[in-house]
């Protein structure tokens, strides 16, 4: 292919318009390391394997279905769940009446981690970030009036996947719905939990057995049900760029395929029911290209297993707009961000989509914000006319070139993972987690310098900002309601039948019985989620991760002459000279929330700024965090909150510090904390609150000022 005849004339014209500056100054290197030029032409596509394909035909770059949205638009599937099953059920009925086409259930953190609501470790978590489910009775309430033989239901569950999926199956049975009529998806993607979200229960090896057992049971009994949704979303939210999200997500998928084949399953018995889940951020064209590249790479990867069914190598995906990109500052901007991300997912060819609500940087979505989020999709689907053309960006020089770049870069990482022995081995080595955390630290450093613009946060900031909309709050009485229901169930069930069913489940876990099949009698007998999880834990044990943080990534993004960073380093050095040790910070995350991006980035950045930093294990109780703070002789505890537990967990931490003689230790708080709660925390003894979007140098400056006032004044 020859060079475009007018390319040199264009270069002359461009440089003239730039007053003699080289057009090379317009080149951009993305966070993925991809070189982007200001102009692309047909010559850039020469020799690319991913170009000149058609929708519905391998390698599926232009979409898995031949007619895509021209035949049927994507499914509007909003992820929702909060408080009690009764409240969530009412919310689902409203959403379905307003145009939503499928359900996607969010469970609370206690449920994710296999704890009943009466467990002492989860007192601050019940109903806060999803719906509390303790037994099949809650599951029946959750789907009351919703015909499970007609409604597709997606459930985001990994750790406690056995009792939750069994509970859904039994709830359907008691509606009169047969197993083979059930349609939907269970996430069942445990590998990504060890990388990012951390809502695991058991160690990796037995958890892989759980996945294989679910695939096996559902392939025989629930042929319309998707047995796994291989998720990159939480990788993106934890800081992975688009290449890392693509590579690690597909590597997880390859590991699951190999595990299922190793267990004796034929690839065509389960692969057509595999689905994916990608996160969509604010890099518009990059994430369009990511979805196209992922379909190409999945087809290439699956071809190695010689499937006979074409659907076995066809990547189908759900997408969700980014929660991390939402800002507490100037929050109505989030409506625009979500709309752009929705367009990215659609132009990339998603099969279903969740759009986040604009207030999720502050709290749980309200009915008002959820309606806007849902209507965003309806308007794009029904007013934009976008559904009339299949893959409208196919053939775009830029999009096709980006697609090819992601294919090449992601394939390098997939090959590296294969060289380590697969994704499970790579996770054990720590490689994927450290890559994601490094990416997150670098991103935060670019934001803190203003190199990556976030409107309302580091540019075009409002002087006087007030939150003028409702913030949803889950009352503590939800836990009381759940505990009352647990007591009622235990008082009325057949205790002997429960014990037999749980003993049979333990035997299956210790032997080679199918765990999902073995859990069904326990659920029917009214065993709780916690009891079933505990029974499996007797055989498998409970996994405890090693918490580490990277060093140097945050500071390396700053120029050596950066005045703000150097001033903070000088002050930490002065503190060291006068106190004989550096300011020491314990960063802790209490409760069962496993999202650790902010907590890890803060730890890494503060260490780069000259603090001595300790990181607590995940899932601390206030008593455990206080004990660690005192034993490590820290000056300050930074408590990270994301899942609305701040009003119970942080005051409890302060009380535990006082009880144990650590009243001199300062407590600061950060994360998703509504501004309306700041005064409550100050009155409880918190010294500073750093909401979403707070630049790390600003929080470090404030923390240092508190320490200087206390120790150096």
589 classed as catalytic: yes
Number of residues in the chain: 713
Q: How many CB atoms lie within 10 A of CB 189?
A: 26
Phi, psi at residue 632, to the nearest 5°? -90, 0
Contact by Cβ (8 Å): 138, 213: no
Residue in 192, 234, 600, 635 annotated catalytic:
234
234 an active-site residue?
yes
The catalytic residue among 189, 252, 359, 593 is: 593
Q: Is 693 left (phi over 0), alpha (psi -120 to 50) or beta?
A: left
Closest to 353 in 3D by CA, of 343, 367, 366: 343
Q: What is the CA radius of gyration of the chain?
A: 26
Q: Which two tokens stand for residue 671?
A: 């994360």
Strands of 341-467, DSSP E: 352-354
The H or E element containing residue 641 is strand 636-641
Distance CA 564, CA 592 (A): 35
Q: Is 397 a catalytic residue?
A: no
Directed axis angle between helix 242-262 and helix 397-420, to 10°?
50
Q: Which of 589, 600, 646, 647 is catalytic?
A: 589
59 preceded by a cis bond (ω within 30 of 0): yes
| 583 contacts 636 by C-beta, under 8 angstroms | yes
Question: Could you confirm whether 646 is annotated as catalytic?
Answer: no
The angle subtended at Cα 128 by Cα 629 and Cα 356, nearest 5°, is 110
User: How many degrees, rounded to 5, is the angle at CA 484 between CA 483 and CA 488?
Assistant: 115
Residue 202: active-site member: no
Respond yes or no: is residue 21 known to be catalytic. no
Three-class SS state of 170: helix
Backbone phi and psi for residue 279, each to the nearest 5 degrees, phi listed first: -95, 140
Q: Which of 92, 233, 256, 606 is catalytic?
A: 233
Of 128, 595, 635, 647, which is the active-site residue? 595
What are the Cα distances from residue 414, in Å, to 44, 187, 229, 253, 421? 25, 22, 19, 11, 11
CB 292 within 8 A of CB 403: yes
Residue 95: CB atoms within 10 A of its CB come to 21
Annotated active-site residue in 79, 92, 256, 554: 79
Residues 6+ apart with CB under 8 A from 29: 35, 36
CB atoms within 10 A of CB 43: 12
The full DSSP string for 384-413 is S-GGGSSSTTTT-HHHHHHHHHHHHHHHHH
User: Torsion over CA of 473, 477, 481 and 483, rounded to 10 degrees?
Assistant: 110
Separation of alpha carbons 152 and 156, rounded Å: 13
State the angle between helix axes of 431-449 and 397-420 in degrees (0 to 180), rounded to the nearest 10: 140
How far are the Cα atoms of 75, 76, 97, 373 from residue 101, in angstroms, in the given order? 6, 6, 9, 14
Catalytic residues: 79, 233-234, 589, 593, 595
């Amino acid at each position: 292919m020859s060079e475009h005849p007018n390319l040199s004339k264009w270069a002359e014209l461009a440089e003239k318009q730039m007053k003699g500056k080289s057009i090379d100054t317009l080149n951009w290197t993305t966070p993925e390391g991809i070189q982007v030029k200001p102009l692309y032409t047909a010559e850039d596509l020469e020799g690319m394997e991913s170009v000149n394909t058609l929708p519905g035909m391998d390698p599926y770059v232009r979409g898995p279905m031949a007619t895509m949205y021209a035949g049927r638009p994507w499914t509007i599937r909003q992820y929702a769940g909060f408080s009690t099953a009764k409240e969530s059920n009412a919310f689902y009925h409203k959403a379905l009446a307003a145009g939503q086409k499928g359900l996607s259930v969010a469970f609370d953190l206690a449920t994710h981690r296999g704890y009943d609501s009466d467990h002492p470790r989860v007192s601050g978590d019940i109903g806060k970030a999803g719906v509390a489910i303790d037994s099949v009775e809650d599951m029946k309430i959750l789907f009351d009036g919703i015909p499970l033989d007609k409604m597709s239901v997606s459930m985001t569950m990994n750790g406690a996947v056995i009792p939750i999926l069994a509970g859904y199956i039994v709830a359907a049975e008691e509606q009169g719905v047969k197993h083979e009529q059930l349609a939907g998806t269970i996430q069942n993607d445990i590998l990504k939990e060890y990388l990012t979200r951390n809502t695991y229960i058991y160690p990796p090896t037995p958890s892989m057995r759980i996945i294989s057992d679910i695939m096996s049971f559902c392939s025989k009994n629930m042929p319309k049900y998707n047995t796994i949704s291989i998720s990159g979303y939480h990788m993106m939210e934890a800081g992975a760029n688009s290449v890392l999200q693509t590579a690690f997500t597909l590597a997880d998928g390859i590991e699951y395929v190999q595990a299922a084949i190793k267990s004796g399953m034929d690839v065509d018995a389960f692969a057509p029911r595999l689905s994916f889940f990608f996160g969509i951020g604010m890099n518009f064209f990059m994430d369009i290209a990511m979805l196209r590249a992922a379909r190409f790479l999945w087809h290439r990867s699956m071809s190695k297993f010689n499937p006979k069914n074409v659907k076995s190598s066809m990547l189908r995906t759900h997408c969700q707009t980014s929660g991390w990109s939402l800002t507490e500052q100037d929050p109505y901007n989030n409506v625009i961000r979500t709309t752009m991300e929705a367009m990215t997912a659609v132009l990339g060819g998603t099969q279903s989509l969740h759009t986040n609500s604009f207030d999720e940087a502050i709290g749980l979505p309200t009915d008002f914000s959820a309606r806007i989020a849902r209507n965003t999709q309806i308007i794009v689907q029904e007013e934009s006319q976008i559904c009339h053309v299949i893959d409208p960006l196919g053939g775009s020089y830029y999009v096709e070139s980006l697609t090819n770049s992601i294919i090449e870069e992601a394939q390098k990482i997939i090959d590296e993972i294969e060289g380590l022995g697969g994704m499970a081995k790579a996770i054990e080595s720590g490689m994927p987690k450290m890559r994601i955390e490094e990416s997150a630290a670098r991103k935060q450093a670019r934001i803190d310098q203003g190199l990556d613009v976030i409107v309302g946060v580091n540019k075009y900031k409002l002087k006087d900002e007030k939150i003028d909309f409702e913030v949803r709050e889950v009352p503590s009485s939800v836990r009381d309601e759940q505990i009352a229901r647990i007591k009622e169930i235990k008082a009325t069930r057949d205790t002997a039948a429960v014990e037999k069913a749980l003993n049979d489940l333990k035997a299956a876990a210790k032997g080679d019985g199918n765990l999902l099949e073995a859990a069904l009698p326990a659920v029917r007998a009214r065993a709780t989620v916690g009891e079933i999880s505990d029974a499996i834990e007797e055989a498998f044990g409970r996994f405890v991760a090693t918490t580490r943080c990277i060093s140097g990534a945050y500071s390396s993004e700053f120029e050596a002459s950066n005045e703000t960073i150097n001033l903070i380093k000088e002050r930490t050095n002065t503190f060291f000279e006068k106190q004989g040790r550096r300011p020491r910070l314990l960063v802790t995350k209490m409760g069962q929330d496993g999202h650790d991006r902010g907590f890890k980035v803060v730890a890494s950045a503060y260490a780069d700024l000259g603090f001595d930093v300790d990181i607590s294990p995940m899932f601390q109780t206030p008593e455990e965090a206080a004990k660690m703070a005192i034993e490590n002789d820290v000056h300050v505890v930074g408590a990270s909150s994301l899942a609305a537990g701040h009003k119970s967990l942080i005051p409890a931490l302060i009380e535990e510090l006082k009880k144990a003689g650590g009243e001199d230790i300062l407590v600061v708080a950060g994360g998703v904390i509504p501004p309306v709660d700041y005064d409550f925390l100050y009155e409880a003894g918190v010294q500073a609150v750093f909401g979403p979007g707070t630049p790390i140098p600003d929080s470090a400056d404030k923390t240092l000022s508190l320490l200087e006032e206390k120790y150096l004044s």
